[in-house]
Amino acid sequence: MREKKFANASQPTEFLDFDTREVRRFVRGVAPDHASPRERAVRLYQAVRDGIRYEIDGVDLSRRGLRASAVLRRGQGMCVHKAVLYAAVLRAAGVPSRLVLTDVRNHLSSQRLRLLLGGDVLHYHCLTSMWLDGRWIKASPAFDRATCRALGITPPEFDGRSDGLPHPYDSRGRQHMEFLRFYGEFVDLPYRMVIEGLRAAHPMLFADHAVLARSAPVNVAGGRN
């Protein structure tokens, strides 16, 4: 019964391609079979958060570049890349997972990022949700420890019992991350929705001179999503 209930949140997809060799090898090295589902989820969270560097310069937003296996090979990415990878490795570890799309206001974003985004709101920020102990909980592995140290913020922790999301305030009491809107949860990345939404909300990200455009052959004309 459980397998049928969570079939859509447990299978490999175009972007959550955990049936690939590199993704399975990563999971075996981080989350041993003898660990509980919660322990595996926490270990994988830490491995994705700190093992994949948060980066927006030159990230690949093509369909191929947003596959979990490609993110793992590249070793870096922004929130959507890391959420996709985390959702994929959770499924490989036997934990049903989904992707969560939100709008967030980053009160501590840099001037350069504000110029790229056209403000302090990032549309289609991506999180991961997972089924643990009879309920869905959320986690965001986007910001690694090195990035958090540079920004003066505490990295979001995840214990497998409650949501592991960015802190609303930094270590000095300044407002940090504010969630504005939730678009829903998805069993695979809704590629066209995300890319077209980003293009509409943040056109500078896709300008000829923008860092995200340099190596991002974005294709929104075809595909299933």
pLDDT tens-digit profile of 51-94? 999 987 777 889 999 999 999 999 999 999 999 999 999 999 99
Q: Establish if 223 belongs to a structural domain.
A: no
Q: Are 102 and 186 in contact (CB under 8 A)?
A: no
Q: What is the CATH number of the domain that holds 183?
A: 3.10.620.30
Pairing of the two strands 76-77 and 53-54: parallel
pLDDT band at 123 (very low <50, low <70, confident <90, very high): very high
Number of domains composing the chain = 1
Q: Give a yes or no: residue 185 inside a domain.
A: yes
In a domain, residue 222? The reply is no
Residues 59 and 76: their CA atoms lie apart, in Å, by 8
Flag whether 37 is in a domain.
Answer: yes
Q: Classify residue 221: in a domain, yes or no.
A: no
pTM, entire model: 0.88
- Tell me the residue range of the domain where 72 lies: 2-214
Q: Has residue 162 been placed in a domain?
A: yes
